[in-house]
Structure 1
């Protein structure tokens, strides 16, 4: 974690000021939380993007403000869907000795038996909330779907014992499910109608 991102204080300002910041290659942001008042800042868009590509967005992010190094996590990112640009970032300073609650992306691993037989993979929830030490925040939580057949699902309760941190999300929080192919469902209805004739 050698890279420290430098940030600058900025005037909490008008839309024109924020537009000017963005045009100059900076992202307006705010930093708040443990032992700090809410402070408007700006960060280099290029440096932030480079850091996220290398380290991911979930983990601990060391930043430097007024010569002081502060550990933060990204609390919220507002993105422009049209340009795929970051418009604003909320950074949350944290107490390194306390666990914190974060949303972590669920990534699917393996080829499902059900999908290989024509089933459709659905991922209704792309994230789950966990409670973890700041230095141990995982970039993603992997869920192996190899044995998942058509009509089966994996919920939080199924993986709770296999991870070494506390999952806050409810047991019935569905992570992945394999549904029957639509065509076969239509065929089943058609064949049952034919049987009635």
Structure 2
């Protein structure tokens, strides 16, 4: 079941309205896609961030516009480069019976053979593009690295097939590798600790409509 997200329609002119919306603790955005054509909206910033953190980046949210209910995905967003605040969101209205493409985070699980032998684990790829119906979008794809030995690599093509979604990312893309341990006089250039920098992961969104 989709999580309800309250949105309000907004005026697009004058441009100063955007500043007023942000000063009021709201995030300007736009809804487009299935049964929606570039509808300018705004959402309460704190409510939106909590909803995404509680339900996941790829969750389906239910919104109401002009009395009509729509199911939407967080398709993209922009952040302030200095403050890190979300400045704009793109909400994609979807047909729950039709496939969509979305970005899904990769999570490495297990301890590799190579790391146990003092090898250095490096995660090269942090997300995948997958295609599936909105209700089956995974929040994360777990990649088991238990059998990854020194000198080995896991590519997208090595991932097991999943009945819920199809991976679109090029199969030759390398996800993770384990390199030989460094000699004592070799400078450290990489770390075996792999972290994902953001709680809400995505690329820059579109400009205000």
TMscore range, shorter length: 0.7 to 0.9
**Aligned residue number for residue 71 of structure 1:** 71
Cα distance, 1:103 vs structure 2: 1.2
Cα 1:182–1:64 change in 2 (3 A) is farther
Question: 5 Å matches for 1:105-184?
Answer: 105-162=105-162, 164-183=164-183
- Kindly tell me the number of residue pairs found equivalent between the two proteins: 187
Which of the pair has more CA radius of gyration?
1
The root-mean-square deviation of aligned C-alpha atoms, in Å, is 2.0
Higher helix share: 1
Q: Tell me if structure 2 keeps the 8 A contact 1:155–1:176.
A: yes
| Greater RCO, CA 8 A, separation 6+ | 2
Instruction: Give 4+ residue runs of structure 1 displaced > 4 Å after superposition.
Output: 184-187
Residue by residue over 1:69-118, the C-alpha shift from the partner in whole angstroms, topping out at 9 and shown as x without a partner, is 21011111111243221111011111211111111111111122222322
Are residue 95 (structure 1) and residue 95 (structure 2) matched?
Answer: yes
**Aligned residue number for residue 204 of structure 2:** none
User: Which TM-score applies when normalising by structure 1?
Assistant: 0.86
Cα distance, 1:185 vs structure 2: 9.0
Cα 1:49–1:157 change in 2 (3 A) is same
Structure 1 portions without partners, runs of 5+: 188-197
Q: Tell me if structure 2 keeps the 8 A contact 1:79–1:88.
A: yes
**Aligned residue number for residue 193 of structure 1:** none
